[in-house]
A and B are shown apart, each in its own frame.
Chain A
Amino acid sequence: MAAEAKTAYERVQAARNGKRPMGSYYIEHMLDDFVELHGDRRFGDDAAIVAGIGYLNQIPVTVIAMERGDTIEERMKRNFGCPEPEGYRKALRLMKEAEKFRRPIICFIGSSGAYCGIEAEKRGQGLAIAENLYEMMGMKTPIISVVVGEGGSGGALALGVCDTAIMLENAVYSVISPEGCASILWKDASKAPDAAEHLRLTSFDLLSFDVVEKVIPEEGKTNREICSALKSVLLDEIRKLSAMSPEELLDHRYAKFRKIGA
């Protein structure tokens, strides 16, 4: 079975691969008439998160996507995909805009984590994530989160409070990086492959834990094929979630997280 083909750490490496498509790819190949919207209206604009509105087939959707960039210049500009507080605040601002117009929200997650820096702390990195978790729990419009790369801890979860969670087959989603885990537990970051195995961070692990609802197969598929498979799953989910009343939707979202570790 293809699911057994890769070790957990091979999947971590695949998720981090510099050639792997990130948020912008899916925006470009999935949406029509996309308009990018910038800034948190507080302090700045974080290029590690690309956000805006476009059509998914004929349905207007708001997309919030982590993006690390391809070239070295772009990666510098996008802080290698590690969001600062402004990125999370921009995301929240645009999610609220989507809520106002009852427009579904799609989040693309792929980042080693929220940026760890002095300035990020001064501007409330913890608060920014906490506010997203809190507000997303009450957002009266469908939210679908797709982990397309590395889902790095709280910085990933800040776009991960949703009604339906989807992972690409080789994406990973973890409370801590395997390197971080290995260096804390065994004082040896080179044991990351072991840690990756034990952390149970693959898409199939998370599907079996009922933390994600869908896995999009990748083996033997081109990026375009993966993208179009994901698009049809997104359309199905939007159709299903849009049929719910706001109250049903929020109860459903609460229950989805409430059952984890209950």
Chain B
Amino acid sequence: MSTIKTILNTITGTVEQPPRICKKCSAEIPYADYLANHCICPECGAYFRMRAVERLDATVDKGTFQEIDKKLKSKNPIKFPDYAEKLEKAEKASGLSEGVVCGTAKVGGMDCALFIMDSAFMMGSMGTVVGEKITRLFEKAAQLRLPVIGFITSGGARMQEGIYSLMQMAKVSGAVKRHSEAGLLYIAVLTDPTTGGITASFAMQGDIIIAEPKALIGFAGQRVIEQTTGEKLPAGFQRAEFQLEHGFVDLIEERPRMTYTLAKLLALHQTH
């Protein structure tokens, strides 16, 4: 059984997945076709938001992924109302214990550490557990002398954890810096959407920053900017192409070529 079937089986109890409906053109896509087409609509070319397991399947060499800190779960550090229920719901809806999956694997035959955020869990927002898992991953990667690849998607810091969430931005930044000072590579892959405190921390701290086409990438929310300035936002504002034009991402890569490009970059950084 392939990695994805094993993982899907574990999280949903079945490998049978319903067809996906494209939000752009309403096409109904059988799941097998959807997966084979890199979670891109075969009719109109729209990118779906990939689940972490789907990304893993598309990225890592089969059978090489070893998950770390799988069971780490958020508590309710500031006793925010209704948060415990929200976490429970997110867990059921996503089949994950939190908004990021971390581990080690081979990509193109090369060892690396990976973190993959999943927007199905509270929009991939960062609370203490997401911050802690990513921090531990960078620390472990520094210890094992592994490069880190991060697939990022997040609405930003998770407000239900208050100041604890905000401080994760600093905590992760510290771990990224230590990993970097050990002479190790960090590739950030920005996918739709990458916003708020994530853009203002580890999304923009990669040695190499890759974006997926048309991904929304920015700091301030679009509605907030409109309300603050009263200005109308230009077409394509804060999209991957906008960020490339303004010099904030190294390249935009199509999803079907992403793994190939990552493997090339890993190889180019091998020092022996």
Contacts and interface: CB of A to CB of B under 8 A. Distances in A.
Nearest to B130: A261
Q: Which one of A134, A175, A201, A254 has the greatest number of beta carbons of chain B within 10 Å?
A: A175
A9 to B, nearest CB: 15
Contact of A131 (B132, B204, B224): B204
Nearest to A195: B159
Nearest to A260: B167
A117 interface: yes
Interface in B234-272: 234, 237-238, 246-248
B153 interface: no
Interface of B is mostly: helix
Nearest to A121: B218
B203 A130 contact: yes
Interface in A198-245: 198-201, 205-206, 209, 211
Contacts of B224: 116, 180
B162 A137 contact: no
Given A126-B203, A175-B159, A200-B78, A138 B246 contact: no
A175 B173 contact: no
Interface stretch (A46-54, A101-109, A153-161): A153-161
Task: Please tell me the size bucket of the interface on B.
Answer: 35 or more
A124 interface: yes
B220 A175 contact: no
29 contacts: A116-B224, A118-B234, A120-B220, A121-B219, A124-B247, A126-B203, A130-B199, A130-B200, A130-B202, A130-B203, A131-B205, A133-B200, A134-B205, A137-B170, A137-B174, A157-B166, A160-B170, A161-B170, A161-B173, A173-B163, A173-B166, A175-B161, A199-B78, A200-B163, A253-B174, A257-B170, A261-B132, A262-B128, A262-B132
Interface of A: 114-118, 120-127, 129-131, 133-134, 137-138, 153-154, 157-158, 160-161, 173-176, 180-181, 184-185, 198-201, 205-206, 209, 211, 253-254, 257-258, 260-262
Interface of B: 77-78, 80-81, 127-129, 131-132, 135, 157-159, 161-171, 173-178, 181, 196-197, 199-205, 218-221, 224-225, 228-229, 231, 233-234, 237-238, 246-248
